[in-house]
Amino acid sequence: MNTAIELEKAPTSRFKDKVMELLPEGGNLNACLTCGACAAGCPASGLENMDPRKLLRMAALGMDDELLSTDWCWMCSMCQRCIYVCPMQIDIPQLVFQIRKSHPRGERPKGIINSCDMALRNDTCSAMGATEEDWRFVVEDVADEVRESQAGFEDLQVPMDKSGATYFLNQNSREPVTEPDEMIPLWKILHLAGADWTYGSKGWAAENYCLFAADEENWEKIVRTKAKAVDDLGCKVWLNTE
Amino acid sequence: MITCYADWIRAGKLKVNPDWNTDRKVKFTVQDPCQLVRKTFGDPVAEDLRFVVKAVVGEENFIDMVPNRSNNYCCGGGGGFLQSGFAEARRQYGRLKYDQIIDTKADYCITPCHNCHAQIHDLAEHNGGHYHTVHLWTLICLSMGILGENERVYLGPDLAEVAMP
């Protein structure tokens, strides 16, 4: 029997009430019908002997110590399928996010925190630490090679910091850092479509691990850095890559 | 990006063609990324995704997972799971997605999202599955006969030399 469902303890700090104050409509956290539609379709059900319905019941019962200590909050991907199937639209993923946030930063998973910290080092926002120079170099290098070696793409353009372009395209750091040739098919598509697009030397990295780290201040900082890069170039559409 | 692909194909700017797969009959399924579909644009973008996939691999060679679109299961690559250090839990989580893919009997799973790509690729390796995991851009270029030699890392041997420029 999981100790997490022992009911002897009296409600203490009521974490749930604090979360409800933060969410529109209180995230409907008091509206659960206990139907189990969330748990039935959640791939994380069973991990750490937990599931979304159980998590919400624990919150409702004021089992805050157990609620705040489970690693399950890192095993829920906050995919929102539970909300999608819930007849009451209960925002369990936001409850999970707030549980993540309640963990001291130093005790959150190192991999996520390190990726967040890395992204804060440069205006590129790259969680893999790619600098503006790295990025410009790899893009130009790969583009040169395509122009030289691939028939029909002698005029391939890979614009960087082109003011007023319609699309500001971002790119996951994995491509420039570990598999740059994977960018080529995308460039060819944009070229053939005649798209008016550009990369930016700043704010180009698509990922934002500070969100996953539940580091709201730095999550916002990264979003603002990226949005500023788009605005500074006067681009109309911030286009997220595949 | 998916909506752009669909618009450009509809406008005739991207002349994709599924003929390369008419006789080969290589089967494809697609992962609906949670962030793109359920959490952001909803079913319309899932329809655009299917429109593009079918235009590229042939309608008869596309097999959907069940459930799908906004009701899909997360693969387990999102939310930071890939970086969290809980690899065993992540793979257990992904078992549902793995079984869904295997049930389609598809040779390829198209993953138009980086996290999905990394996770679904890892699920195949970990569970000994025989499907390959590809981005959509790879197949769009393949179908236009412009996919270069070094751009085929995620294709299996069956497609390694198909429709070379």
pLDDT in tens, A184-207: 999 999 999 999 999 999 999 999
Domain boundaries, chain A: 13-103, 110-239
**Is residue B157 domain-resident?**
no
Residue A148 touches partner B, C-beta closer than 8 Å? no
Closest CA to A68 of A8, A6, A16: A16
Q: pLDDT tens digits, residue range A53-89?
A: 999 999 999 999 999 999 999 999 999 999 999 999 9
Characterize the bridge pairing of strands B108-110 and B132-134: parallel
* Confidence (pLDDT) at A177: 96
Tell me which chain A residue has its CA closest to the CA of residue B69: A81
Per-residue confidence band for A5, with pLDDT thresholds at 50, 70 and 90: low
Contact call for B93 and A78, based on CB within 8 A = no
**Is residue B23 domain-resident?**
yes
Provide the whole-model pTM. 0.94
**The CATH number of the domain where B37 resides is what?**
3.40.50
Per-residue confidence band for A7, with pLDDT thresholds at 50, 70 and 90: low
Tell me which chain B residue has its CA closest to the CA of residue A80: B39
Range of the domain at B87: 2-151
Contact call for A78 and B86, based on CB within 8 A = no
ipTM of the complex: 0.97
Characterize the bridge pairing of strands B28-30 and B108-110: parallel
Per-residue confidence band for B48, with pLDDT thresholds at 50, 70 and 90: very high
For residue A124, give every residue at least 6 positions away whose Cβ sits within 8 Å of its Cβ, in sequence order, or none.
Answer: A130, A131, A132, A135, A201, A202, A203, A204, A205
Structural domains of chain B, count: 1
Closest CA to A91 of A76, A102, A103, A74: A76
**Is residue B66 domain-resident?**
yes
Tell me the average pLDDT of chain A.
95
Q: pLDDT tens digits, residue range B17-29?
A: 999 999 999 999 9
Residue A87 touches partner B, C-beta closer than 8 Å? no
Contact call for B80 and A242, based on CB within 8 A = no
Query: CA–CA distance from A105 to each of A45, A47, A222, B143 (Å)?
Result: 26, 23, 17, 47
Q: Where are the beta strands (DSSP E) in B55-158?
A: 108-110, 132-134
CA distance B49 to B6: 7
